Structure 1
């Protein structure tokens, strides 16, 4: 068992029972996003969607987050313009018929951090459907590359080359740390962990990531983030990884996010019963 963060963060060597718990919580997170999606009709705002998500997550037992729920409507699904971290926060942008939607949430259930995303359009959209088909190809190619032993940076660069070569925009380059993916971790004892801040952000988990990124930059240790940078120039590291390729095409952005299990001998998706495969 690998534990860090003053002994409070476990990031690899999860037991089968723990993986089953991650799987159950991932399914709950997807169910909450689907519940919110079912309420989205023209006229609601991003703030409405995130408020409904947080209420549902509290009902399901999550009161802290690696990051707060995100709702992006229309052109904002492509992370346009001078996009910053603050741009992910919900706005009063009003949903319109035909809009693309991205919902993303990283709730923490009993110390288990999961991260999920789903994309859809409000009403039929052939453009959205085709973009999602292309984005889902990466579910197969990323897994195959991990199994083949490609480095994390090689995999991220290949995804970028494929997107941009087709004329699409690599939107995950605008995610924090330009991540194609990042570790999913477990707080080993939430009773002694610092409380989440009033907004719900979990300082312990975020602090652990910052320490890990710093160690990767200064000491060459494997980074908890997965991108095309030199800190990811290593073979896939064992553990749980939230993978989130985010593609932009015109004013339509699509992404999916789910957990990938990597161990010393193999890699596999934690669950094949996920919304983007239906």
Structure 2
């Protein structure tokens, strides 16, 4: 668990102050831990012949059993070359399909539960059996995690951090696959949802309350020359706005894709990952099982 506390500097007239207190951060952290725990249980349950739809449905049931009633977006599951988003052409291809899991295949589970307005958005990568390519990429993920927080602390713009991640991907000989996400995003801002739309109702995979909140954020941030979406275009040519950002570098080599997704805390003059006790972080520790 991160031991950092929010660092509050002199407030700039153009930069909003950090909007959360320690209680808020604890609630976000608890929900993120819950999401990862549910994803891990589904990963342990997976076996040959299980389809993406079955895995996504199982992940949703695990979250609902823990009291989750609403979602930023519905759970996703990708198996085999779909972890690398090969031949993805339309947003509909992101939804879980009928691909069955087989020995040696990689998989990615992605879920975004909402509880009492707090949101977590996580990505959990794994493999069924042996996959040396997966092992190699998994060990490199730590470099991306370190790079992102270092660049954000240096107050680089979102687009500049994106470019730094791209450069590291190229040095490793991998492919950038987050560019396939709608809007080419590597991340997005997460806020405490205050919308009063119906909980649990989804439109195109996103919760109604999510869409209401995102709409207000897009308008509000654009009025101040900022964006809640983290990509590589003109709208991302500003430093990350203080708050919480769900960051998801998605990397692939040929037909094997991996990602992590977790919450990054950005204050007026500091940045740190909300929690260091997560599966992909523990995996990097000496002696950890892969």
**Within the alignment, does 1:202 sit opposite 2:239 as a pair?**
no
Indicate the residue corresponding to 2:109 in structure 1: 103
Indicate the residue corresponding to 1:233 in structure 2: 237
- How many angstroms does 1:180 deviate by? 1.0
Deviations 1:219-261 (A, max 9, x none): 4521111111111101121000111000010110000011010
- State the SS of the aligned residue for 1:92: coil
Indicate the residue corresponding to 1:125 in structure 2: 131
- How many angstroms does 1:134 deviate by? 2.0
Q: Any gaps of 5 or more consecutive residues in structure 2?
A: 1-16, 283-290
Deviations 1:56-111 (A, max 9, x none): 11111112211111110000000011332111111110100000011110111121
CA separation in 2, counterparts of 1:161 and 1:216?
28
Indicate the residue corresponding to 2:27 in structure 1: 21
Q: 1:61 to 1:12 in 2, by over 3 A?
A: farther
State which of 181, 184, 190 in structure 1 corresponds to 2:187: 181
RMSD, aligned CA: 1.9
Indicate the residue corresponding to 1:245 in structure 2: 249
Q: Any gaps of 5 or more consecutive residues in structure 1?
A: 1-10
Q: Is the Cα contact below 8 Å between 1:182 and 1:226 reproduced in 2?
A: yes
Q: Is the Cα contact below 8 Å between 1:62 and 1:110 reproduced in 2?
A: no
CA separation in 1, counterparts of 2:168 and 2:74?
30
- How many angstroms does 1:158 deviate by? 1.4
**Within the alignment, does 1:34 sit opposite 2:48 as a pair?**
no
Deviations 1:145-165 (A, max 9, x none): 011111111000111122134
CA separation in 1, counterparts of 2:110 and 2:18?
23
Query: How many residues of Structure 1 are paired with residues of Structure 2 in the alignment?
Result: 265
- How many angstroms does 1:125 deviate by? 1.7
State which of 268, 272, 275 in structure 1 corresponds to 2:276: 272
TM-score with structure 2 setting the length: 0.86
Q: 1:14 to 1:274 in 2, by over 3 A?
A: same
- How many angstroms does 1:166 deviate by? 3.6
Q: Is the Cα contact below 8 Å between 2:121 and 2:261 reproduced in 1?
A: yes
